[in-house]
Amino acid sequence: MLARRSILSIPALQFLLGQTQKLEMFGDAEAYDRFMGRWSRLMAPLLVDFTGVPDTGRVLDVGSGTGSLAFAIGDRKPASHVVGIDPSKEYVASANRKNPLPARISFQVGDAQKLPFPDASFQACLSLLVFNFIPDPAKALRELRRVTKPGGTISAATWDYGDGMRMLRVFWDAAASLDSSAERLDERHMPLCHAGDLSQLWKQGGLEEVDERPLDITMRFTSFADYWDAFLLGQGPAGAYVRSLNRDQLQQLRGEVKRRLPQSEGEGPFVLPARAWSVRGTVPTRA
Ligand SMILES: C[S@@+](CC[C@H](N)C(=O)[O-])C[C@H]1O[C@@H](n2cnc3c(N)ncnc32)[C@H](O)[C@@H]1O
């Protein structure tokens, strides 16, 4: 059993208390891409297809991070114009640097709760793995509704942090088996990550034709190191937890995680599934 620690200073706990804006959980674009961006790149085309993004017109990527979703929209809809917005200056700079289609895709700094766009200025708004990080998701949805044309679509997806996201499930189950205080930090306590959560928000937000479904992907890891090393980069609640451990605790956790993974017998490649809950809804055409 790991020694009990004071966890009040751990950024992940602040996150669970709803103080995400004060955190620096997001900011290192390279580390983000290594930890989570590889998953976003697989998930993004599924959300674009589920949304039914129109072939032409302006599309907003809310919480665009390092750009996975905006790039997927630009790729699949060659006549679209995509704007990505994110509060992280570093992510926005990284997305602009990597942008393969600068004539049609742009990124800017901003907050979903106070969008710097006129009413009805987008055909569709999409948001990938963001809504559970927004302090006031209902306010953000009102903003998305305001900037989307009547009849346009608003969609979002968040990880199923319960059983669906195996990469994190294995990590948090291993951490909680060694350290009872880790259980409180487990991302399965996050808002908007269970079946029905997003569709309830969408219906309460006055959207019509609300449809929710799971989006499933699998990730191939080339080795245990390919899985584990990403947790050492300080990204998200799991990365913040790892950074709070001393060397011995970290070694214990590493061993316990390894024991629980499908490749525990060896060092070879393995595959983990991941599920996100996605929702789409239509902006009413009448006032
Ligand atoms: C898990 S990342 C997802 C990024 C990207 N959509 C992707 O799929 O890779 C969560 C993102 O939400 C952004 N975010 C946090 N609070 C936000 C807010 N109030 N408005 C817009 N984006 C926000 C973060 O900066 C971060 O880029």
Single out the residue of 9, 11, 65 nearest to residue 38, CA to CA: 65
Report the predicted TM-score, pTM, of the whole model to 2 decimal places: 0.90
The answer to whether residue 5 sits within a structural domain is no
The answer to whether residue 2 sits within a structural domain is no
CATH of the domain at 104: 3.40.50.150
Measured over the CA atoms of residue 239, residue 15, residue 129 and residue 92, the dihedral's sign is: negative
Largest Cα–Cα distance in the chain? 62
The answer to whether residue 128 sits within a structural domain is yes
Distance CA 83, CA 62 (A): 9
Written as tens digits, the pLDDT of the chain (287 aa) is 343 333 333 333 444 444 343 345 667 899 999 999 999 999 999 999 999 999 999 999 999 999 999 999 999 999 999 999 999 999 999 999 999 999 999 999 999 999 999 999 999 999 999 999 999 999 999 999 999 999 999 999 999 998 899 999 999 999 999 999 999 999 999 999 999 999 999 999 999 999 999 999 999 999 999 999 999 999 988 999 999 999 999 999 999 999 999 875 567 899 999 999 999 999 999 76
The answer to whether residue 217 sits within a structural domain is yes
> Best substitution site from 86, 108, 128, 136 to test ligand 1's pocket, by max atoms within 8 Å of Cβ?
86
Q: Which domain holds residue 255?
A: 11-282
The answer to whether residue 250 sits within a structural domain is yes
Q: Where are the alpha helices (DSSP H) in 20-63?
A: 29-32, 38-51
The answer to whether residue 4 sits within a structural domain is no
The answer to whether residue 226 sits within a structural domain is yes
CA of 175 relative to ligand 1 center, distance in Å: 25
